[in-house]
A and B are shown apart, each in its own frame.
Chain A
Amino acid sequence: MRVLSWAFQLLVFAVVAAIFFWLWGNFTRNTEASGIPTNFDFLSNPATFSIPGADFSPNEPVRNAYIVGVLNTLRVSVVGSILATILGTLIGIGRLSRNWVVSRLSAVYVELFRNIPLLVLLTFVFLGVVLQVMPSIEVSWNPLDWFVVSNRGIGVPWYDGVTGWSLSLVFTIGVVSWWMIARWRQSVFERTGRPSHAGLLGGSFFVLTLIVGWIVLGGAVSLPAVDGRQIVGGIRIDPSFFAILLALVIYTASHIAEIVRGSIQAVPKGQGEAAAALALTGFQRMWKVILPQAMRIAIPPLGNQYLNLIKNSSLGAGFSYFDITNVTQITVGNGSPAVPAFFLALVFYVVISLITSALVNVANRRFELVER
């Protein structure tokens, strides 16, 4: 029996290996015949293309273009995950609301966006909204004179006049004082039972520290403005970044909302009843009893959604967002060897996915219930 099973395994392995070697043989033969390199030397060649919105010149090596692409993928993924989580949580809780209008509206949102292909949504946002509804730069909208909205980009006010070092110092002071206030309020709560309001007090002190520090350091606000056909000042949000971010957030939020709703409903009804019988208020019931348990249920599927979001961000490549997929496509179009170039991109995605699932596993263990 043992021998048989090993023989079977070896057979399967041999077949897989044979296919692999056949493919590899074809690959080496074909690339040799056409003189295409199979190594990663192309990374040192000049990129010969520019990346709008990034500090990148066409003379820099392809390697640097990859780095810009990786950073852009991470940027849209991180911002998108945070925004999608916030929106999705609100909608998921909204679906459970006793208010009929709110729960219906949330349900419609979920059923609408969950069942439309992301690419259709993205195309709509980019071609239909950004390029059509948003005005051209000459007639841009300037709400409050603080923003510039045009199809060349969106200008948003940003800080100015403060160097990175002093700003991070102020930031650190703010964070530390927030933490200390939270500790202090927690101990007051434990000693006297008075409500701690740790988040409220600490948070406002943090904001206050930032504002005061920034004024003391002589900081200023840079407002965006239109200069010819350019947006100057403030910070410019690239239209393609805006489009891919918006589409990803709208789409992913619809999935996260379902996860949030499902996890809250999966907490046994008796938990809420026991909390109610102990005279906990609605907010306390949710915050102290239901949510901690719902979170545990929600973590694995939420992790999956973040993974999906990262992978889906590759669609931005089709709409001139310079993520790693787009950089790969362009450099291949400019003569870099296709197989190693795409291999790099794939490895990046797989590694990111593995890291994310590892993080999810850690979080999962952290929230695991203690059982016998």
Chain B
Amino acid sequence: MTASAPTTLGTGTRAYRWARKNLFRTWLDALLTLFFGGFALYIVVTFLQFVFVTGRWGIIDVNLRLLLVGRWPADELSVIAVAVVVLGLWVGLIAGIVHGRQIRRETSAVASMSMSQRVSDLVRRFGLIFGTVLLLLVLTDTTGPWLMAGATIVAGVGGRILGGIASQMAVPHWFARGALLMMAAVPFALFFFLTGTVPLADWEGFYFNITSAIAGIILCFPLGVLLALARRSKLRLLQGLSVAYIEFVRGAPLFVLLLMANVSLEFFVPASLAPSKTIRAIVVFTIFTGAYLAEIVRGGLQSVPRGQEEAAKSLGLSPTKQMGLIVLPQALRNVIPAQIGQLISLFKDTTLAGLALGILDLLSAAQAITQQEGFRGQGLIVETLVFVGFLFWVGSFTMSRESQRLERKLGVGTR
């Protein structure tokens, strides 16, 4: 019944046949393979040599805290640790609840996996981040961060189990709603907890890049949705305002907007209200990203088939309910990957705040430390920038891969 493996088209071992097909199909192919293979080999060897032999990583080791959290007082670092652990618990809880819901609706992708498969799936998806965190932990010389990491893992796993159990329990409706609200309040509570210790104006380092990107993307969300709805509405005046805003902001470079916020905001806002540089940066991020998000959401609204709105209409729903219950939820679901894309781009763009406003973000800190006594004039900028680039790369790459995964899962673009 079963025929043997292919024989007539190519002989020799599998590896030979693979190479013949993928590397040396034609003479031109062979030439390309040799040329680019050599080039790649050279780059890889040079890079590995730089990382493991010639690179002088002492500057990173010494300045690790400055790079990550700026001038956050050393004796207040425990506050961040507490926040991270709580965040771990929170993420675990959400993952557990979401998973529980997926099992109930039989849409879970991991329900059929064994424990070891789940762990390896997690490692494949987030291994880069775990590895990077581990690397940073190794570079520290105190036990605090290790304790924090351990506690976060415990909290995360615990939250995941708790969430799984909670999602299986039958609870009254009002209770579930209340719990959900409380969950939604956690990030804000954490924010006030952190600003209570160190004011927002002093948030620096990689910590600034991460938090300001998250703040920007959360704050711009209502703005973006409202702008998108206004642009689609039949109300001419609203439409005009929205179009003007979107086109103007999208036409302006973020860098110039940040520069303007730096030098000309005082003229428009009373001195008592003029905010700190960090807040200015976040406000500009919000204004800027809102315009882009509006266009994303508009695309999402267009992607919802007309029949959905007509069906809602035929059920006798009011226009507001047609939009709020039927169209908008589908639209927002469809644009999640694009929203993640926007988050990635904002995450990378937070570096502009350093240059434009003089905030000591990760990139500015990396430049500043090369001017320190003992490090000056040694060309250490290469080492520090590779480190900075690596941290940003790990974050963006992981997020973009997750968004592609989600895109496949949602089936967007496969229609």
A39 is an interface residue with CB less than 8 A from chain B: no
B305 is an interface residue with CB less than 8 A from chain A: no
Q: Which chain A residues lie closer than 8 Å to B256 at the CB level?
A: 314, 325, 328, 342, 345-346, 349
Given contacts A115-B396, A315-B352, A342-B263, contact A8 B252 (CB under 8 A): no
Given contacts A98-B25, A325-B255, contact A119 B351 (CB under 8 A): yes
Contact B259 A120 (CB under 8 A): no
B235 is an interface residue with CB less than 8 A from chain A: yes
Given contacts A101-B23, A119-B363, contact A9 B238 (CB under 8 A): yes
Contact A117 B349 (CB under 8 A): yes
Partner of B263, one of A101, A132, A307, A332: A332
Q: Which chain B residues lie closer than 8 Å to A118 at the CB level?
A: 348
Partner of B253, one of A27, A120, A121, A325: A325
Contact A128 B382 (CB under 8 A): yes
Partner of A120, one of B29, B385, B397: B385
Q: Which chain B residues lie closer than 8 Å to A350 at the CB level?
A: 247-248, 251-252
Of all chain A residues, the one with the shortest Cβ separation from B263 is A338
Q: Which chain B residues lie closer than 8 Å to A329 at the CB level?
A: 259
1/0 contact string of A21-55 vs chain B (CB within 8 Å):
00100110011000010000000000000000000
Contact B251 A112 (CB under 8 A): no
Q: Which chain B residues lie closer than 8 Å to A354 at the CB level?
A: 247, 251
Q: Whole-angstrom distance from the CB of A53 to the nearest CB of chain B? A: 22
Of all chain A residues, the one with the shortest Cβ separation from B34 is A101
Contact A123 B348 (CB under 8 A): no
The CA of A349 and the CA of B367, in the complex, are separated in Å by: 29
Contact B253 A123 (CB under 8 A): no
1/0 contact string of A109-133 vs chain B (CB within 8 Å):
0011011111111011001100010
Given contacts A119-B351, A123-B363, A128-B382, contact A13 B254 (CB under 8 A): no
Q: Whole-angstrom distance from the CB of B384 to the nearest CB of chain A? A: 9
Partner of A27, one of B267, B344, B393: B267
A16 is an interface residue with CB less than 8 A from chain B: yes
Partner of A339, one of B264, B348, B397: B264
1/0 contact string of B228-251 vs chain A (CB within 8 Å):
000000011110010000011011
B54 is an interface residue with CB less than 8 A from chain A: no
A102 is an interface residue with CB less than 8 A from chain B: yes
Contact A117 B253 (CB under 8 A): no
A100 is an interface residue with CB less than 8 A from chain B: yes
Q: Which chain A residues lie closer than 8 Å to B392 at the CB level?
A: 115-117, 120
B322 is an interface residue with CB less than 8 A from chain A: no
Given contacts A120-B351, A311-B253, contact A342 B259 (CB under 8 A): yes
Q: Which chain B residues lie closer than 8 Å to A311 at the CB level?
A: 252-255
B400 is an interface residue with CB less than 8 A from chain A: yes
B219 is an interface residue with CB less than 8 A from chain A: no
Q: Whole-angstrom distance from the CB of A344 to the nearest CB of chain B? A: 11
1/0 contact string of B252-276 vs chain A (CB within 8 Å):
1111100110011011111000000
Given contacts A99-B33, A132-B382, contact A16 B241 (CB under 8 A): yes
The CA of A124 and the CA of B366, in the complex, are separated in Å by: 11
Contact B381 A128 (CB under 8 A): yes
Q: Whole-angstrom distance from the CB of A78 to the nearest CB of chain B? A: 17
The SS class assigned to the B binding surface is helix
Q: Whole-angstrom distance from the CB of A254 to the nearest CB of chain B? A: 12
Given contacts A26-B269, A100-B22, A354-B251, contact A123 B237 (CB under 8 A): no
Which parts of A101-159 form the interface with B (CB within 8 Å)?
Answer: 101-102, 104-105, 111-112, 114-121, 123-124, 127-128, 132
Q: Which chain B residues lie closer than 8 Å to A10 at the CB level?
A: 237
Given contacts A112-B393, A116-B393, A120-B363, contact A26 B270 (CB under 8 A): yes
Q: Which chain B residues lie closer than 8 Å to A104 at the CB level?
A: 40
B55 is an interface residue with CB less than 8 A from chain A: no
A353 is an interface residue with CB less than 8 A from chain B: yes
Of all chain B residues, the one with the shortest Cβ separation from A111 is B397
Which parts of B349-366 form the interface with A (CB within 8 Å)?
Answer: 349, 351-352, 354-355, 363
The CA of A100 and the CA of B20, in the complex, are separated in Å by: 11
Contact B367 A105 (CB under 8 A): no
B175 is an interface residue with CB less than 8 A from chain A: no
A318 is an interface residue with CB less than 8 A from chain B: yes
A5 is an interface residue with CB less than 8 A from chain B: yes
The CA of A93 and the CA of B251, in the complex, are separated in Å by: 30
Q: Whole-angstrom distance from the CB of B97 to the nearest CB of chain A? A: 30
The CA of A232 and the CA of B355, in the complex, are separated in Å by: 34
B83 is an interface residue with CB less than 8 A from chain A: no
Q: Whole-angstrom distance from the CB of A20 to the nearest CB of chain B? A: 10
Q: Whole-angstrom distance from the CB of B319 to the nearest CB of chain A? A: 10
Q: Which chain A residues lie closer than 8 Å to B254 at the CB level?
A: 311
The CA of A97 and the CA of B23, in the complex, are separated in Å by: 10
The CA of A370 and the CA of B237, in the complex, are separated in Å by: 34
- Name B residues whose Cβ lies closer than 8 Å to a Cβ of A: 21-23, 25, 29, 32-33, 36-37, 39-40, 235-238, 241, 247-248, 250-256, 259-260, 263-264, 266-270, 344, 348-349, 351-352, 354-355, 363, 367, 379, 381-382, 385-386, 388-389, 392-393, 396-397, 400
Q: List 17 other contacts, CB 8 Å, given A117-B389, A119-B351.
A: A26-B268, A98-B25, A99-B22, A99-B23, A100-B33, A101-B33, A101-B36, A115-B392, A116-B396, A123-B385, A124-B386, A311-B254, A315-B352, A315-B355, A339-B267, A342-B260, A353-B251
